[in-house]
Structure 1
Amino acid sequence: MHVIFVYVLIGLVYKIESLTFCDDQKCVCLNKNEGLKISCSSHSTVLAANYTLSDNVTTLDLSRNNLTRIQRPLVSDTLIELLLNSNQIEEIANDTLRLPSLKILDLSHNNLKFIHKDTFSQINNLECLNLTNNKFNAFGNINFYYLKKLQEIVFDDNNIGPSLENHSLFEGGLQLTKEIQSISLRNVNLTANNKHVFLDAREHLKKLILSHNNMTDFIDLPDKLVYLDLSSNPIKRIPRDVFIFTTDLSVLKLNNILIEEVQGFAFFYLCSLHHLELEKNRNLKQFSPLAWGRVIVKDQIDLFVNNLTLRGSNLTSLDVKMAGIFKKIKRVDLRDNPWICDCRIAWLQEIEIPEELMDFRCSSPSNLFNRRIHEVNSTEFICEEEKISEESNPIITIAIYCILLTFAVLMMYFFIFSAKPFLYRQLPLEFPRTP
């Protein structure tokens, strides 16, 4: 009897020790061709038991579980993706992440203020790290020394911008690899005081997001950039030479900044640009037809832009010289601008614009207010000068007629009254007598 009890006890212990996430009915486990995907999101007791990971697990989702710390080791030779986002994690103990195959780690929306130096020591194949919306405010509390294969890092919504004025993301700072290809520093209180902050990554960095910061100027841009987002910064001008080395740039977002004008040659060096966003620039009133350095575009080789948006700016008119450029762009968004519908923008009716983007309307004159520009009759596009000319022509004609008539009367008066004494002086005083 005692022997049977011992065997039963051993069996129970073994079952507890071998309990996996998939044994819990609240976890969803999907068998994929590439491995096993386990979703235990919104399962608050998920780490209460001593779960183990199956041998073929590739994805583990532990998000939204109100976890405050990770203390028990997560051990797997096959796990590729670990999602710990949207918890209350304040600490990840050393030697907790024993995941040599891990490539994606999401720690966003937690309460992390620091990460121990050796936290990443056993995930040195990591390629993507998301630290969005934590409590980091100083670089002394984090180090990426072990992440030599990291390709993408997201630091959004952390107050680390001031630290970048005196520290480096790379050597001598966070030890971030110089071969990183994507960095996102959205809303981190970054200024442009340290213009060389990304200089060490100029040969490899391809994607850079710096939106919603306090940058009043451009920084030195890495040479190999393909994607750049500087939206929602108090930038007032686009220097002509800022893109001189970024000839590979394909996507440029300059939404909601403080520029008043897009000057000539602003995008001259961007020979690979195919997507340009200039939305919600409420101060933007002028767009030079020489922004690309030329107004005559012969074919698509001269201009790669497929998508241009000027929506929600303060443009009232565009130079007709831009017609050639607009005809080469597949998708142009001109909505929500205060267009003055006169003869200067009549040419916009000739541009082929997708149906969903054709709802750009007249702001003035009053008789055309809120009319869709493509629905206005071409004869209604009248400039103020033409109106004045049309209205004043009869008046001018009458005025000229009156002036000429007055001049004729005066001349007659002069001839009659001024010429009379002269005639009298020419007449003889006595008539000659007849013999």
Structure 2
Amino acid sequence: MFLVLHLVLLGLFITPIAGMSGVGCPMGCVCNDETYVVLCERNKLDVLPITLNPAIQRLVLRNNKIKTVDAAFQFYKDLQYVDLSNNHLVNIPTKSFVYQEKLQELHLNKNKLSSINNKTFQGLKSLTVLNLRENFLEELPKGLFSIMPKLEELNLGQNRISKIDSLAFDGLTALRVLYLDDNVLSSVPTASFSVLGSLAELHVGLNAFSYLPDDAFKGLGKLSVLDLSSAGLSNISMNAFRGLTGLRSLNLVDNKLQRIPTAQLSHLSRLEELTIGQNEFATLEKNSFKGLSNLRKLDITGATNLQKVEKGVFSDNLNLEFIVLASNKKLEDLEDGALVGLPNLKHLVLKDNSFKAFSESMVSWNELRSLEMTDNPIFCDCQLLWLSNLISIKNLSNVQCSMPLALRERPLRTLSPDDLGCSFRDPRQQAILVTLCVSAVILLGGLGLFLFRYRQRVREALKDYKWNKRAISRKEHEYQKTFSDDDYIVRSAQQGIKPIPVTELRARAPRGPGGTLPVTGFTYITGDSCRAHSLRALNSDTRNGFPRCHRDVYQH
């Protein structure tokens, strides 16, 4: 009887199916006999259809009410992709897939499967992807997947798994990606990882570990991605990550870490991406990420206790390109220079924190390609004029003011220097003014220090200056009392004194040895110089019959 029915069904497929659907395509489904794809989604099917083209390669039956996998699969030996997700599958009979030797992807996620064994997937020799996510599986027995040597991705997340046999993954020599997240594991199943020498990506978050012991991931030397998010971690052993020499990405989000595990992370010298938000640390201390010289992206989002980022926190991470400090509601202190010295930093996200201002010396702003600073309680004043100009020039994300009230919710890029209360429109003028003020203060301070240090000498110099000034004034007063050449000639005529010619003075002057004029206590001037200088100071007394110059003026 079964044979007759089988022949009848095969007879139905002899007639070619034209267009997008044919004789054997269930109502509401889309059957394409050119691409060999059948799509029956949200069609309220409760059993697998048996009237489809036997040559189909891709069968999508998600979001239906199918309760079991029956013998209908034996008609479709060319299947390469099957999606039975989001149905009502409670169990899978033994040898249900025995004829699917070409099947490469099988999606059974979002069903009600509570148990599977090593015969459930018998026949799936070519399977590379098996998705069992969101079922009710509680344990993984020995050799469960040993009949699938080509399996590369296995998703067991969001089940109720509490026990994994040490040989549960035996035979999965090609496995590259494993999901065990969102289960009820109380510890890392280290023993079962020993057979997964090719594993590159492991997701074990959303469990209840609380503690990572030494060598927790022993045997996973080729692991590149490790996800420990929401694993309940409060303590990480010093050598927990030992052996993970090839790890590139680590996710520690949503745990209970009170400090950055600096020493533990230092084993991960090749780490490029670290996500560590939603933990309980309050400060990013200096050298928090020491040893992570290849780190390129750091994401700290939602750290509710984070308040301060210290200068030097990234001193060992010169290859950082992307930094995310977002939604940290208490973060308001980012020390000047905390982000300086990062020559490769191109993307910076500082949104939704508690920053009231941003210092121009905080980071090399001009080197950034993208900048996100929204949702901060920014106080807009002249100190942010530089940022307003930068946003306009580089077309970066906008910043809205929170204070003062007059500028609340106004975009910073739209504010003029006058709106910000700046005295000068050009920030270079402000810099020049500040420089001049500082220079003047330094100069006055130096002068004051000099005067204080040499105050005795300065006092003596001023005293001498005043005495000399009085002496000179006295002499000038005497000079004012002398008379001119004309006055002398007039007075001489009135007194009957005969002027003596200059040539006669020269002739009468007694000679010394060699014919030179004698040197006495006075200097005798001849020629016009005497008339020009001595007549005003000439005395009425003579010596040896010659007039002499005033002692105060020409005395040697």
TM range (shorter): 0.7 to 0.9
Does residue 1:196 correspond to 2:239, yes or no? yes
The answer (yes or no) to whether the contact 2:348–2:370 under 8 Å persists in 1 is yes
The answer (yes or no) to whether the contact 2:164–2:189 under 8 Å persists in 1 is no
Counting aligned pairs with the same residue, the percent is 20
- Provide closer, same or farther for how the CA distance between residues 39 and 377 of structure 1 changes in structure 2, counting only shifts above 3 A: same
Give, as a single letter, the amino acid of the residue that structure 1 aligns with 2:83. S
Instruction: Determine which of 271, 279, 291 is the counterpart of 1:225.
Output: 271
The answer (yes or no) to whether the contact 2:190–2:216 under 8 Å persists in 1 is no
Name the residue aligned to 1:312: 352
User: Matched residues in 2 for 1:140 and 1:225: separation?
Assistant: 23
Instruction: Determine which of 251, 254, 258 is the counterpart of 1:209.
Output: 251
The answer (yes or no) to whether the contact 2:94–2:120 under 8 Å persists in 1 is no
Q: Which entry has the higher C-alpha Rg, 1 or 2?
A: 2
Deviation at 1:141, TM superposition (A): 8.8
Does residue 1:341 correspond to 2:380, yes or no? yes
The answer (yes or no) to whether the contact 2:200–2:222 under 8 Å persists in 1 is yes
Does residue 1:30 correspond to 2:67, yes or no? no
User: Matched residues in 2 for 1:199 and 1:114: separation?
Assistant: 24
Does residue 1:282 correspond to 2:329, yes or no? yes
Deviation at 1:335, TM superposition (A): 0.5
Deviation at 1:350, TM superposition (A): 1.5
User: Matched residues in 2 for 1:291 and 1:328: separation?
Assistant: 15
Runs of 5+ in structure 1 lacking a partner? Answer: 13-21, 295-301, 385-435
The answer (yes or no) to whether the contact 1:229–1:254 under 8 Å persists in 2 is yes
- Provide closer, same or farther for how the CA distance between residues 224 and 379 of structure 1 changes in structure 2, counting only shifts above 3 A: same
Q: 1:69 is paired with a residue of what secondary structure?
A: coil
Deviation at 1:252, TM superposition (A): 0.3
Instruction: Determine which of 116, 140, 145 is the counterpart of 1:92.
Output: 140
Does residue 1:325 correspond to 2:364, yes or no? yes
- Provide closer, same or farther for how the CA distance between residues 7 and 292 of structure 1 changes in structure 2, counting only shifts above 3 A: closer
Single out whichever of 58-67 and 134-143 deviates more from structure 2.
134-143
Instruction: Determine which of 309, 312, 323 is the counterpart of 1:262.
Output: 309
User: Matched residues in 2 for 1:105 and 1:200: separation?
Assistant: 23
Does residue 1:178 correspond to 2:225, yes or no? no
The answer (yes or no) to whether the contact 2:96–2:120 under 8 Å persists in 1 is no
Name the residue aligned to 1:297: none
Name the residue aligned to 2:420: 381
Runs of 5+ in structure 2 lacking a partner? Answer: 9-37, 39-46, 60-78, 424-556
Alignment of 1:11-410 (within 5 A): 24-25=48-49, 30=58, 36-45=80-89, 47-48=92-93, 50-52=95-97, 53-71=99-117, 72-75=119-122, 76-97=124-145, 98-139=147-188, 143-162=192-211, 164=212, 166=213, 168-171=215-218, 176-201=219-244, 203-219=245-261, 220-221=264-265, 222-257=268-303, 258-294=305-341, 303-322=343-362, 325-352=364-391, 357-358=397-398, 360-382=399-421
TM-score by length of 2: 0.58
- Provide closer, same or farther for how the CA distance between residues 10 and 25 of structure 1 changes in structure 2, counting only shifts above 3 A: closer
Give, as a single letter, the amino acid of the residue that structure 2 aligns with 1:254. I
Deviations 1:295-330 (A, max 9, x none): xxxxxxx622222111111111111224x7122111
User: Matched residues in 2 for 1:248 and 1:139: separation?
Assistant: 27
User: Matched residues in 2 for 1:29 and 1:350: separation?
Assistant: 59
The answer (yes or no) to whether the contact 1:327–1:352 under 8 Å persists in 2 is no
Q: 2:194 is paired with a residue of what secondary structure?
A: coil
User: Matched residues in 1 for 2:346 and 2:87: separation?
Assistant: 45
- Provide closer, same or farther for how the CA distance between residues 249 and 140 of structure 1 changes in structure 2, counting only shifts above 3 A: closer
Aligned residues: 354
TM-score by length of 1: 0.74
User: Matched residues in 2 for 1:51 and 1:262: separation?
Assistant: 58
- CA RMSD across the alignment: 3.1
Deviations 1:51-108 (A, max 9, x none): 2252222111011111001123313221111000011111334333210000100001
